[in-house]
Amino acid sequence: MTYNFLLDLALILLCTKVLGLLTRNFKMPQVVGALLAGVILGPAVLNVLSDKDFITKISEIGVIVLMFTAGMETDIKELKKTGKASFIIALCGVLVPLGGGFLLAYLFNGPDMSEGATASLFLQNMFIGVILTATSVSITVETLKEMGKLNTRAGNAILGAAIIDDILGIIALTIITSMADPTVQIGIVLLKVVAFFVFAGVAGFVFFLFFRKLQNHYHKDMRRFVILAFVFCLVISYCAEEFFGVADITGAFIAGLIISNTERAPYIASRFETLSYTLISPVFFASIGLKMTMPEMTPHIIIFSILLMIIAVLTKIIGCGLGAKICKFGTRESIQVGVGMISRGEVALIVATKGAALGLMSNMFMGPVILTVVVTTVIAPILLKIAFASRKNGKGGGEDQKIEETELVKNYNIAMRGEDTNEEEEIPAGARS
Amino acid sequence: MTYNFLLDLALILLCTKVLGLLTRNFKMPQVVGALLAGVILGPAVLNVLSDKDFITKISEIGVIVLMFTAGMETDIKELKKTGKASFIIALCGVLVPLGGGFLLAYLFNGPDMSEGATASLFLQNMFIGVILTATSVSITVETLKEMGKLNTRAGNAILGAAIIDDILGIIALTIITSMADPTVQIGIVLLKVVAFFVFAGVAGFVFFLFFRKLQNHYHKDMRRFVILAFVFCLVISYCAEEFFGVADITGAFIAGLIISNTERAPYIASRFETLSYTLISPVFFASIGLKMTMPEMTPHIIIFSILLMIIAVLTKIIGCGLGAKICKFGTRESIQVGVGMISRGEVALIVATKGAALGLMSNMFMGPVILTVVVTTVIAPILLKIAFASRKNGKGGGEDQKIEETELVKNYNIAMRGEDTNEEEEIPAGARS
């Protein structure tokens, strides 16, 4: 019996927190710092983590919890309020990066780079595209709020499109992960995917009714709801893999979506936040770092990394901008929408991890993906400020079109206020001194 | 890659919660139900858990967190208020069960029963005694409160003695686990144990000063304190094993004691409660269940189990009762004190798990230990009611000596109110509907 896992965990918690706080001081999201901590502790730099098995086991459950949380944060009730424009923006914003990522991988990827990947080259290249579809708008929204630009047509389009982007991204992920097994025909795969969504819908509806009955019964003792939600998430994730050949993280996300419709959602989400920040998130970032090894950063991979970042930024601007244009947004507004969608977050990393585990992605690409997540997240607020600010210099005519605070913005603010409280919780009153 | 760990975890969470709620409905602590769930899911009954490696890895970190929490709940500042009587009661209440457990094991244990144990028979037998020293008074205190007997001399003596019992128990555990390595001399072992306590004291003091400085600086963003406390716990636990040959759970307990002195303790403890009930506690109980196998329940072991329960109950009554008698308590009061100390809780299980991992205890004894924990916990309130109620039937003269509510009781109530709130948390105000 060794005790290295104690030291490993201590190092992981300390480094992700310290670097996370540092990056936050520089007005960057903590995910960037946590990722850096993972890379620094991993084989690429210090290589100080010794109990890799422990980290892997915890992060297995970790990705499930993180996708479950992501699902809970996607407010599906908002879908109705987003409208057709958001849908077209999201669709173009998924298809163009998917194509761009695929093309880039097609040019660079070869059998010599497929170390650890077992799927066909076509699927591998497609998977790089799928990773690029993910969007994380929380940093964008924070920036827009700061600039007082959230209540603009562009701001609202971004909020709406991000919700739909999540759903479309998860569908793309589900289809491609289901095709990882080369023995299964594509027709069967699609049938199974549809069957899974039907199953999840029915199971979710039954669970929702049961949950609502229970929540009308018990108004104290909230722990049972947290446990019940977690059990539901685990069962759906398990069924996805076992009976439908669908990725478990898809199941976890769908379970989160269903829970987000219940009255207990804010409480449950806050408890999973605690589980996440005390153990699961830091270990997940460490496990990402473990997958990035230095010797693999050949000139070929470095060039690929740089191009991947550029493609990641450009395809979102072009894709979402195109979508906005189609919906009769002005050129300036279209660019604003596009720029608002470029940042990628944890979801891209979770998807990449899953792909690597399924043989859909070579471990060599983990480095480029990490770099892309970091760069798009860091660059998003800067580009956003440029896109919104240029008009003020008197180059164009008039101000950005201000609109009334919409339901979408209101609900986003309510949801985020809960999270902020969590992040910066005050000392509870009446605590023993 | 298999996904059985998802189903395993779902089953564990569901069963421990459902059975825990069931036992609570019967006015028994949830630990009894959770333990039963572990045994039922394990090889002794259903044997449905397939990813044992996953459960083991999570429960490795689990015992650390549980002992850390136990340390945080032990209010060391109360020690000063407990007085000499509590100390003598606790001391006798540790020594008599230690001797009783040793004697019983001495009569039953032989080389044929040492499957999995590597330490000398003497140490193995002594370890059974150490397991019996643990006391969990929360169920006792709840019962006394219900009867309105907490503010009696006996009630106060129980509260005080339980705190000292925890400390003495951890010292006994520390010494015996340090001796598990047969190549080390006893003199060196004791020296190392003393050196560890000195180290922990100094490190704890330095950490405490640093922590206080930080907490005066930051009054929002509480997460960093939770992470910092956890890192401290992990580092002390690691150092205990690595440099002093002392059990990691001792380190975790001491770290908890130190944190309990900080202003942020209630907040930190509540966050660890969440980590505990959403993942760690249920998995820990499942891991206990995994260690209990049916074929090992031979007639010999069954007789041993029954005797162990009887010894567990009698030695606490006799030991603590004797201590009370020495301190000039009346016979009736002495019996009340003794009965108040018989219930064992999670700590006895954690100690047993640790002993099994170190080769200090054969896996064959896990069944008897589980049964003893369950029986002592279930029987404690019943015996307590008998011990306090008989006088009412007019057999003796006068009522139980009522006293003013002491600081000890006040503080216990404050600490427990926090826990109750946690357990039966209300829906947060202003939650989205």
Rg, chain A, Cα only: 21
Show pLDDT as tens, one digit a residue, over chain B (433 residues).
578 889 999 999 999 999 988 888 887 777 888 888 988 898 878 888 888 888 888 888 888 999 899 888 877 777 676 678 889 999 999 999 999 999 999 998 877 777 777 788 889 999 999 999 988 877 788 788 878 888 888 888 888 888 888 888 888 888 888 888 777 788 888 898 899 999 999 999 999 999 888 888 877 778 889 999 999 999 999 999 899 988 888 899 999 999 988 888 888 998 998 999 999 989 998 888 887 776 566 888 889 999 999 999 999 999 999 999 998 888 999 999 999 999 888 888 889 988 888 889 988 888 899 889 888 988 888 898 888 875 544 444 445 666 767 767 776 666 554 443 334 343 443 333 3
Interface with B, mutate which of A57, A260, A276, A358 (most B CBs under 10 A):
A57
pLDDT in the model for residue B167: 85
**Neighbouring residues of B164: CB distance < 8 A, sequence distance ≥ 6:** B79, B82, B86, B87, B90, B91
Chain B: residue nearest A266 by CA?
A: B431
Q: Which residue has the tokens 């975890």?
A: B9
pLDDT in tens, B344-390: 888 888 899 888 888 899 888 888 998 898 889 888 888 988 888 75
Helices (H), A74-111: 79-108
Contact B3 A266 (CB under 8 A): no
Q: What is the pLDDT of residue A420?
A: 38
* A429 in contact with chain B, both atoms CB, cutoff 8 A: no
Residues 289-328 of B with CB under 8 A from A: none
- Chain B contact present for A48, CB below 8 A: no
Q: Which residues of A touch B230 (CB under 8 A)?
A: 10, 13, 278
Encoded amino acid at B203, one letter: A
B412: closest chain A residue by CA: A432
pLDDT value at A393 more than 70 = no
Residue-by-residue DSSP string for A296-309: G--HHHHHHHHHHH
Return residues 351-380 of B near A (CB < 8 Å).
357-358
Model confidence at A327: pLDDT above 60: yes
HEC string of B205-245?
HHHHHHHHHHHHHCCCCCHHHHHHHHHHHHHHHHHHHHHHC
Shortest Cα distance, chain B CAs vs residue A307, angstroms: 32
Please check the confidence at residue A79 and state whether its pLDDT lies above 80.
no
Question: B235–A7: do the CB atoms touch at under 8 Å?
Answer: yes
Cβ B347 vs Cβ B169: under 8 Å: yes
CB-CB contact of A266 with A19 (8 Å): no
Q: Calculate what percentage of chain A has a pLDDT beyond 90.
A: 30
Q: Mean pLDDT across chain A, nearest whole number?
A: 83
Q: What does the alpha-carbon distance between residue A157 and residue A90 come to, in Å, rounded to a whole number?
A: 9
Reply yes or no on whether the pLDDT at A125 is more than 50: yes
Residues 393-422 (B) with a CB less than 8 A from some CB of A: 411, 414-415, 418
CA distance A332 to A393: 14
* pTM score of the predicted model: 0.84
The pLDDT of residue B421 is 38
Interchain proximity A432–B64, CB inside 8 Å: no
CA-closest candidate to residue A362, choices A108, A189, A164, A133: A108
Q: Which chain A residues contact residue B423 at CB under 8 A?
A: 221, 223
What is the rounded CA–CA span in Å between residue A339 and residue A343? 8
pLDDT digits (tens, 9 = 90+) for A170-206: 888 888 888 887 777 888 888 988 999 999 999 999 9
The half-sphere exposure of A362 on its side-chain side, counting CA atoms within 13 A, is 21
Q: How many CB pairs under 8 A join A and B?
A: 181
Chain-centre distance for alpha carbon A137? 9
Q: Say if the Cβ atoms of A267 and B221 lie within 8 Å.
A: no
Beta-strand (E) ranges in B146-295? none
pLDDT in tens, B12-23: 999 999 998 888
B279 touches chain A (CB under 8 A): yes
* Residues of A whose CB is below 8 A from B426: 219-220, 222
Model confidence over A243-254: pLDDT tens digits?
A: 998 888 889 999
Query: Mapping DSSP to helix (H, G, I), strand (E, B) and coil, where does residue B104 land?
Result: helix
Q: Which of A101, A116, A118 is nearest to A172 (CA)?
A: A101
- Main-chain dihedrals φ then ψ at residue B262, nearest 5 degrees: -90, 160
Closest partner CB to B221 (pick from A60, A264, A424): A424
Both tokens of A358, joined, read 């399924």
Q: What is the pLDDT of residue B411?
A: 67
Complex ipTM > 0.85: no
